[in-house]
Amino acid sequence: MPVACNVADDSSVIAALDAAEAADGVARIVVNCAGIPGSMRLVGREGPVDMARFSQVIGVNLLATVSMMTKAAARMMTLDPLDPDGERGVIVNTSSITAFEGQIGQGAYVASKGAIAAMTIQVAREFAANGVQVLAIAPGLFHTPMAADVPPEVDGAITSDAIFLRCFGEPEDFADLRLSMIQNPMLNGEVIRLDAGVRLRAR
């Protein structure tokens, strides 16, 4: 059931969770995937970075993830456990390999995705007593509208650094990993790179 939601707007997040809950009960699985790119040098030809643009990327990629994760987890924590181990649900956030090999001109995006990666074990620890597991995927490059603007020469340079396969990933590969992470009860507090072994260059 699709529900329109601006994840950067708290009231919209609450309304979406309310609508989902009314239709199907409290969600035990939450996948945070919304995100925006944001190329900008921290000090460019026009001077220091525009903090409003920087904040917008942090707002959608990081703060909205925290907003949805905490609001959804608080609801999950009211549910009965699914099993004697006390499992109540799982949240899977979306980081990026730029969290680990930040490229020139990607400061806002790197800050947002790095924070999501860093928070994964912290939040998993915080929610553990209530049986909510927290995970993240750090994708490399995937064929989605976000990556559509990557020029072919950049595409080639990035994928040629991959170990194998030397190509963009497909959304299905990403969805498969999500599903298997959700299904595996032994995974918690982990950020998994899905990138064919690529290590990003400086630019």
* Closest residue to ligand NAD: CB criterion: 35
CB-count exposure of residue 72 (10 Å: 0-12, 13-18, 19+)? buried
| Number of other CB atoms surrounding residue 66 within 10 Å | 15
Q: Of 18-26, 117-125, 144-152, 180-188, which part binds ligand NAD (CB under 6 A)?
A: 144-152
Helix residue ranges per DSSP H, the chain = 10-24, 51-57, 64-76, 107-128, 152-160, 171-183
- Asked if residue 27 binds ligand NAD (CB under 6 A), the reply is no
> Please, what is the minimum distance in Å from the beta carbon of residue 34 to ligand NAD?
4
- For the chain, state the CA radius of gyration: 18
- Asked if residue 100 binds ligand NAD (CB under 6 A), the reply is no
- Asked if residue 35 binds ligand NAD (CB under 6 A), the reply is yes
> Please, what is the minimum distance in Å from the beta carbon of residue 73 to ligand NAD?
19
- Asked if residue 141 binds ligand NAD (CB under 6 A), the reply is yes
- Asked if residue 145 binds ligand NAD (CB under 6 A), the reply is yes
Is 109 noted as a catalytic residue in this protein?
yes
> Please, what is the minimum distance in Å from the beta carbon of residue 130 to ligand NAD?
25
Spatial CA neighbour of 38 closest among 139, 107, 115: 107
Question: 110 near 151, Cβ under 8 Å?
Answer: no
Q: Which tokens in the block code for residue 83? A: 């099993």
Q: Which residues in this chain contact ligand NAD in the complex, by CB under 6 A?
A: 5-8, 33-36, 60, 94, 96, 139, 141-142, 144-147
Active site residues: 109
